[in-house]
Amino acid sequence: MDATEPVLSSYDSGTSEVPLLGDTIGVNLDRTAARFPERDALVECVTGRRWSYREFVAAVDSLATGLLDAGIGKGDRVGIWAPNRAEWTITQYATAKVGAILVNINPAYRAHELQYVLNQSGIRMLVSAKSFKSSDYVAMADEVRGHCAALEQIVFLDSPEWEALADTRADPERLNGIRLSADDPINIQYTSGTTGFPKGATLSHHNILNNGFFVGELCGYTEADRVAIVPPFYHCFGMVMGNLASTSHGSAMVIPSEAFDPGTALAAVQAERCTSLYGVPTMFIAELDHPDFESFDLSSLRTGIMAGSPCPAEVMKQVIDRMGMREVAICYGMTETSPVSTQTRADDSLERRVSTVGRVGPHLEVKIIDPVTGLTVPCGEPGELCTRGYSVMLGYWEQDDKTAEVIDAARWMHTGDLAVMDRDGYVSITGRIKDMVIRGGENVYPREIEEFLYTHPDILDAQVIGVPDEKYGEELMAWVRLREGAPELTAEALREFCTGKLAHYKIPRYVRVVDEFPMTVTGKVRKVEMREQARKLLGLD
């Protein structure tokens, strides 16, 4: 940089000629259906069921009227505990129409977690699948039923009670008479809670409708698009970036299966001629590694979104080259910000898409601050990423103290993520503040080392963590998944591969080869759990 050139600060705001939407979710859906009544709204590949926008609104209005008949109204909490299926989506829009607050419940929860969420949010009605994978939802619901003061009704999908609720004769007059504000809370999503109980991020119509809309805008969605929504609906990736991005543009929501399976995802793209495919990096890795990958016709794909965790450069290149997703976007965000704060654009270079998470979204602000002083750092310097704007949650449900820990007096959401912004406003995530490894006084960012390990010919996936060390305070450990047929990889061999290419303090001391990483249901790697396991394995407790 020229010595006379002014130092730019790490702050950017997203300008747009497209205004924010002032609608509620229900009004926006009705508007879309009036424009595209006969186009596909929802397709469930497993059952072959499909709804046009006219049919979808009719199903939503029937369930919404059923909810009113059941005594559910504005501000009441309705829990949904189910995998990805059409009823989840219909319930999402029906609760929005009556002003009830939908509480997303993780399909992996066990009884004690279910009970906590039911009580913490005061759920009056629980809509639940009967079972999923090894989970018996009926038994768990029966176990907690008597311990939840607010819970009045449990309605299981595929039951006479559900049919009666969902098939109620729609009453447009009653539905149109409900007075709702776009700023009303409409959704509670519980963050993963890696320490202690999860917190309920409370989101409004305005939060999630606009976030879905602008994500779709940057993906170039129109009524001609068909979006394969692989991530779970209970998370923002599925219900906001998937469902709301689609319905705000007249695009089709395509549900490949109840839970992620690489084969069914690829088959759904082929059968439904999907133009967009969603997933976290581990999902794309599994799809690219599918033994029959070459037999699927993916020529309809144009775009898609990869988000949820950092995207390895090699994976992104293959997604573009082998899957034809030339306009694929990287999105970054968190549940508390509805979720997307930054996104790459369709015309961004490959380098931008593999090395950054894009630029700030329309009508949003981002800055990178020194975590100690709180001051915005110059471009190119690492710090904590903060975001502000329409997307920031209303707060954690009935936890003002926890809200105050992350949203400051100026309404900036402090993400806890380490990031760097370049002079053009592109943001690179370098890790979590708590994931940063300090080895012998040197700050080490695991993401940098993980990216390098992907260049090893035998490594399919890699994660780097810090483990305790008497001499250096922390030492590096690499967990790796190897390609099928690859020879055994020793710590010595990996260190030899790194020597001369990484600074000595960045070379992992320990290596563990695994078949899979500890993951959340949304496909995020649980580094907290990895560190716990590593300490026991290495005898470092």
Strand order in the sheet with 510-513: 459-469, 473-482, 510-513
Residue 54 lies in a domain: yes
* pLDDT tens by residue, 242-257: 999 999 999 999 999 9
Please identify, among 116, 149, 180, the residue that sits at the C-terminal boundary of a domain. 180
pLDDT tens digits for range 414-464? 999 999 999 999 999 887 887 888 888 787 878 889 989 999 999 999 999
Nearest to 436 by CA among 428, 445, 448, 427: 445
Residue 85 lies in a domain: yes
Determine, yes or no, domain membership for 233: no
- 145-159 confidence digits (pLDDT tens): 999 999 999 999 999
* 376 has pLDDT over 90: yes
Q: What is the CA radius of gyration of the chain?
A: 23
Q: Is residue 94 part of a domain?
A: yes
Q: Does the N-terminal peptide bond of residue 339 adopt cis geometry, omega within 30 degrees of 0? A: yes
Say if residues 414 and 388 touch (Cβ distance below 8 Å): no
Number of domains in the chain: 2
Task: Indicate which CATH number applies to the domain containing 446.
Answer: 3.30.300.30
Domain boundary residue, one of 147, 180, 213: 180
Distances (CA, A) of 294 to 181, 266, 270, 289, 348: 49, 10, 12, 10, 27
Distance CA 282, CA 392 (A): 27
**Which pLDDT score, from 0 to 100, does residue 1 have?**
43
Q: Which domain-ending residue is among 123, 147, 180?
A: 180
Q: What's the confidence (pLDDT) of residue 196?
A: 60
Ranges assigned E (strand) in 237-382: 252-255, 276-279, 303-306, 329-333, 340-343, 359-360, 364-369
Assess if residue 407 is contained within a domain. no
User: How far is the CA of 298 from the CAs of 155, 270, 319, in angstroms?
Assistant: 39, 6, 11
- What domain range includes position 517? 435-537
Q: Comparing 504 with 44, which gets the higher pLDDT? A: 44
pLDDT tens digits, residue range 393-417? 999 999 999 999 999 999 999 999 9
How high is the pLDDT of residue 192?
63
> Where are the strands (E) in 37-152, listed by range?
40-44, 49-52, 77-81, 101-104, 123-128, 131-132, 135-136
CA distances to 189, 227, 257 from 295, rounded to whole Å, are: 38, 21, 20
Within a domain: 281: no
The kind and range of the H/E element at 534 are: helix 527-537
Q: Which residue would you say has higher pLDDT here, 53 or 108?
A: 53
Distance CA 278, CA 418 (A): 25
- Could you report the per-residue pLDDT of 47-102, keeping only the tens digit for each? 999 999 999 999 999 999 999 999 999 999 999 999 999 999 999 999 999 999 99
Query: Using one digit for the tens of pLDDT, what is the confidence trace for 124-138?
Result: 999 999 999 999 999
Query: Phi/psi class of residue 508: alpha, beta or left (left: φ > 0; alpha: ψ in -120 to 50)?
Result: beta
In a domain, 239, yes or no: no
Quick one: tokens of 3?
Answer: 């010595």
Residue 202 lies inside a defined structural domain of this protein: no
How far apart are alpha carbons 534 and 40 in whole angstroms?
A: 49
Of 83, 129, 124, nearest in space to 103 by CA = 124
Which pLDDT band holds residue 371 (cuts at 50, 70, 90)?
confident
Question: The whole model's pTM is what?
Answer: 0.86
d(CA 410, CA 475): 38
What is the pLDDT, as a whole number, of residue 5? 62
Amino acid, res. 477? M
**Cβ within 8 Å of residue 3, ≥6 positions away:** none
pLDDT score at 2: 47
Do 86 and 256 form a contact (C-beta atoms < 8 A)?
no
Please state the rounded mean pLDDT for residues 332-358.
94
Q: Which of 171-185, 266-280, 311-325, 379-393 is least confident? A: 311-325
User: Which ranges of 122-261 does DSSP label H, i.e. alpha helix?
Assistant: 137-144, 160-166, 172-176, 205-218, 236, 245-247
Answer yes or no: is pLDDT of 469 > 80. yes
pLDDT of 480 > 90? The answer is yes
